[in-house]
């Protein structure tokens, strides 16, 4: 194998491979993707772990996220301080979870975080409304939105506290045929 890359040390690469679902090549490719967002900010040598963060504006402009209605939430959930600005570690984390190798329950956990807009560890009605509006680009009337949200809570809320806990959410979503 060509050991020509000097971006990471071998230990770093191994550690990243242990911590993500990626292979060595994919990690390097992701690094280059990360670096291409802001070549002037990101150094080519990561062996001494420079503390570089990229602002959300750059992360959100990636083609993978650009058209995603939840891009801001995704960035916030995966960023270290919840502000959408990402270090390389956060970046790798995000792609690892979103990759197809990640197990469904890990995805479910993060999906819950993403849909939990106000970070209170429950998906409550306001979260649901936001979700619907983002999904439909505000094309539903408020009555329709609230009806849909009520239906969701009625369907998925197992302990009947008017909001979805992580357990409710997981039980619901892990059985969904479409949940990838």
Partner 1 sequence: GSQQNRASRRKNYQRKNRDGKKAREEGSQQKDRGKTTSTKDQKESKNKEKKTTKRGKEGENKQKKDRKNSTSSTSSNSSDEESLSEEELAMLKEQVEQKKKLISTMRNKPWRMVKKLSVLREAQDFVEKFEGALGKGKGKKLYAYKMMMAKKWVKFKRDFENFKTQCIPWEMKIKEVESHFGSSVASYFIFLRWMYGVNLVLFGLIFGLVIIPEVLMGMPYGSLPRKTVPRDEQATAMDFSVLWDFEGYIKYSALFYGYYNNQRTIGWLKYRLPMAYFMVGISIFGYSLMVVIRSMARNANESTADGDDDNFIFSWKMFTSWDYLIGNPETADNKFASITTSFKESIVDEQESNKDENIHLRRFLRVLANVLIICCLCGSGYLIYFVVKRSQTFSKMQNVGWYERNEVEIVMSLLGMFCPPLFETIAALENYHPRIGLKWQLGRIFALFLGNLYTFLLALMDDVNEKLAEEDVVKNITHWTLLGHQNSSAGNDSTVTPPPLDPADVPRGPCWETTVGIEFVRLTVSDILVTYITILVGDFIRACFVRFVNYCWCWDLEAGFPSYAEFDISGNVLGLVFNQGMIWMGSFYAPGLVGINVLRLLTSMYFQCWAVMSSNVPHARVFKASKSNNFYMGLLLLILFLSLLPVAYTIMSLPPSFDCGPFSGKKRMYDVIQETIELDFPLFVAKIFSYVANPGLIIPAILLMVLTIYYLNAVSKAYQRANAELRKKMQMQREEEKNKRNNKASTNPMLQDLEDLLTPSTKTESPPKQAEDKKIESPNGTSPVRKPGRGEVPAGSPMAGGRGAAFTPPAPVFVTQPRTLGLRAPYPGQPRPWGHPLGPVPGRGRGQPCY
Binding to partner 1 (CB under 8 A) within 96-155 occurs at 96-98, 103-106, 108-111, 115, 120-122, 128, 131-132, 135-137, 139-140, 144, 147-148, 151-152, 155
Residue 2's contacts (CB-CB under 8 Å, 6 or more residues apart) are none
Whichever of 85 and 131 has its CB closer to partner 1, that residue is 131
Minimum distance from CB of 130 to partner 1 (Å)? 11
Q: Which stretch binds partner 1 (CB under 8 A): 38-46, 52-60, 158-166?
A: 158-166
Binding of partner 1 by 156 (CB under 8 A)? yes
Provide, rounded to whole angstroms, the least separation between the CB of residue 153 and partner 1. Answer: 9
Interface residues for partner 1 in 66-85 (CB under 8 A)?
66-70, 80
92 belongs to the binding site for partner 1 (CB under 8 A): yes
The DSSP-derived string for the chain is: ------SS-HHHHHHHHHHSS--HHHHHHHHHHHHHH-TTTS-S--TT-----B-HHHHTTSHHHHT-TTHHHHHHHHSTTSSS-B-HHHHHHHHHHHSTTS-HHHHHHHHHHHH-TT-SSSB-HHHHHHHHHHHHTT-S-HHHHHHHHHHHHHHH-SS-SSSB-HHHHHHHHTT-TT--
- Provide, rounded to whole angstroms, the least separation between the CB of residue 30 and partner 1: 12
| From candidates 5, 6, 9, 15, binder to partner 1 by CB under 8 A | 15
Cβ nearer to partner 1, comparing 40 with 63 = 63
Q: Any contact of residue 160 with partner 1 (CB under 8 A)?
A: yes
Smallest gap, in angstroms, from Cβ of residue 72 to partner 1?
A: 14
What's the rounded Cα separation, in Å, for the pair 109 and 129?
Answer: 20
- Within 10 angstroms of residue 2's Cβ, the number of other Cβ atoms is 4
């Amino acid at each position: 194998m060509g050991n020509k890359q000097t971006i990471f040390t071998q230990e770093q690469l191994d550690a990243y491979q242990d911590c993500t679902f990626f292979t060595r090549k994919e990690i390097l490719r992701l690094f280059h993707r990360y670096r291409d967002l802001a070549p002037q900010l990101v150094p080519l040598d990561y062996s001494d772990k420079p503390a570089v963060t990229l602002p959300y504006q750059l992360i959100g402009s990636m083609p993978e996220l650009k058209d995603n209605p939840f891009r801001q939430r995704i960035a916030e959930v995966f960023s270290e301080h919840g502000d959408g600005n990402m270090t390389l570690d956060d970046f790798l984390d995000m792609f690892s979870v979103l990759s197809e190798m990640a197990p469904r329950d890990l995805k479910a956990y993060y999906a819950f975080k993403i849909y939990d807009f106000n970070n209170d560890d429950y998906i409550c009605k306001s979260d649901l409304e936001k979700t619907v509006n983002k999904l439909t680009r505000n094309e539903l009337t408020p009555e329709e939105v609230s009806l849909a949200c009520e239906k969701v809570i009625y369907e998925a809320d197992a302990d009947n506290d008017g909001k979805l806990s992580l357990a409710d959410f997981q039980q619901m979503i892990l059985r969904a045929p479409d949940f990838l």
